[in-house]
A and B are shown apart, each in its own frame.
Chain A
């Protein structure tokens, strides 16, 4: 059982470049989320999706965009990366929005130089 798969595991990229972090789930969960985790700041919600075709802004959405074309995939795009976006990014899913247990991916470590 894969659960949540994130790619890449880690990436280094130059400021100004475009980057897409991929997230795929095989649990047919309706809700999906993107968090970033930074030392001293904990986990902060970037964007979320209640169901395929709908997305919403979280706590720190600026500089990020998401799409939810189908149930399984929820990519996160940085249109023009900046050093402050250096972080570990976690994708998560749950059966419904806020309906209890969140399942997390292993994370994507992004470094923007």
Chain B
């Protein structure tokens, strides 16, 4: 079955700094989803990528899917304390179910 890895496992940045979180799949991705989870709360959908080379942006968050569709990156520009949380990538496991990466815990220091 498909497995997702994320790096880094955790990240602490100063407010205003840029950062990147990576998600790598063991198999070709046919749909890659990014979610954010605030501590102790449920997951919130951020964006979905399906095509190789696709890039989407929402406010200060940009996600890309590489041409081979095995790796995605999430980039946050000028981070703010409101960006803190756990970022998880998720993917369609070849029609069997939906799998998630282990998550990247982001802390933004004011």
User: Which residues on B are within 8 Å of A, measured CB to CB?
Assistant: 31, 33, 35, 40-45, 48, 88, 90, 92, 95, 97-103
Contacts and interface: CB of A to CB of B under 8 A. Distances in A.
Given A43-B88, A107-B41, A107-B42, A102 B102 contact: no
Q: Is the interface of B mostly helix, strand, loop or mixed?
A: strand
Nearest to A94: B98
* Residue in A33, A98, A100, A105 with the greatest tally of chain B CB atoms within 10 Å: A98
A43 to B, nearest CB: 4
- Across chains A and B, which 7 residue pairs bring their CB atoms closest together, nearest first? A104-B42, A42-B102, A43-B100, A104-B43, A101-B45, A106-B42, A98-B92
Contact of A42 (B42, B92, B103): B103
Contacts of A58: 97
A25 to B, nearest CB: 12
Contacts of B43: 43, 90, 92, 102, 104
Contacts of B90: 43, 102
A40 B31 contact: no
A102 B41 contact: no
Nearest to B90: A102
B24 to A, nearest CB: 14
